[in-house]
Amino acid sequence: MINSLRSTFIAATAIVLSFSSAAVEYRLPAEGSNLVGENQYYVVPEGKLTLEQIASQFQLGLTNLLEANPGVDPFLPKSGSTLLIPHQLILPDTKREGVVINSAEMRLYYYPKGKNIVEVLPIGIGQIGKDTPENWVTQVYRKRANPTWTPTVNIRKSYAAKGITLPAVWPAGADNPMGLFALYVGNLYAVHGTNATFGIGLRVSSGCVRLRDEDIKHLFETVPVGTRVEFINKPIKATEEPDGNRYLEVHEPLSRNQAEFESTEPVPLSFDKNTTRFVAHPDTDSFTLKRLLEQRSGMPTRINP
């Protein structure tokens, strides 16, 4: 399922995190800590409310909610059912500067210069074969409001195969696939808006990073040109906290090909040296670890007793 509006109850955690106009804002943790936020709960109200609408309300992508709530109907979650809102997370193990985009969890992290906070926003990423970059450090080279879209030759060919003729340049406007704002991070890639109301938290783009309208507007207004941007692909995040508790956060890895994407089998997880060393710790509870690697809930879970 992962591959393919009002709240009636919220466990408030304003001390740890807060909602800005277009981001979930976390206070950075103490030195040596990487764990931020608290999970929340939401009771689905009466009426036809899609999971996308709920995800949008809580600044999450669709995949974030599907991982945390396996079996929920993405089109019409049951009224009166309780959803877990995954707002606790482990910060990526990389430089806390500028923008960090973790494709595997479909989240964008922004560390504003001079502030002790991180803003977290949900994103849509590239389709199979049109993957969003990874292991790449770049910067915001320029910004543009009301961008035009110039589809590449290959994109025009792929659309033509579906019977759709794209113009050489798509004019600016509300129906432009680039949305209303764009931050350009290279010759081929941008962080931009969208003309669609569905797709944040999914693999929908031609390689660029998509955000909802209010989110890209927020970044456009707050992220300066020249800001460092790092692309990573880390489905597993780990942290040993100052109190000795050790947490692992596991997301479903991104499929590398169409066959893997369409398969009913889970995508294999791979471990780098640091993660292998982390889970091999003698205090690791093997039952908890096994369950976590199977469930891939996308939420930090303590793996030591």
Residues annotated as catalytic (active site), given as ranges: 192, 208
Question: How far apart are alpha carbons 153 and 170 in whole angstroms?
Answer: 14
- Contact partners, residue 192, CB within 8 Å, separation at least 6: 147, 178, 179, 181, 182, 183, 208, 209, 210, 211, 216
Question: How far apart are alpha carbons 237 and 248 in whole angstroms?
Answer: 6
Question: How far apart are alpha carbons 44 and 55 in whole angstroms?
Answer: 12
Tokens of 184: 């350009």
Closest CA to 110 of 32, 220, 202, 31: 220
Burial class (CB in 10 A: 0-12, 13-18, 19+), 139: middle
Closest CA to 41 of 72, 8, 67, 16: 8
Look-up of token digits 């950075």: 28
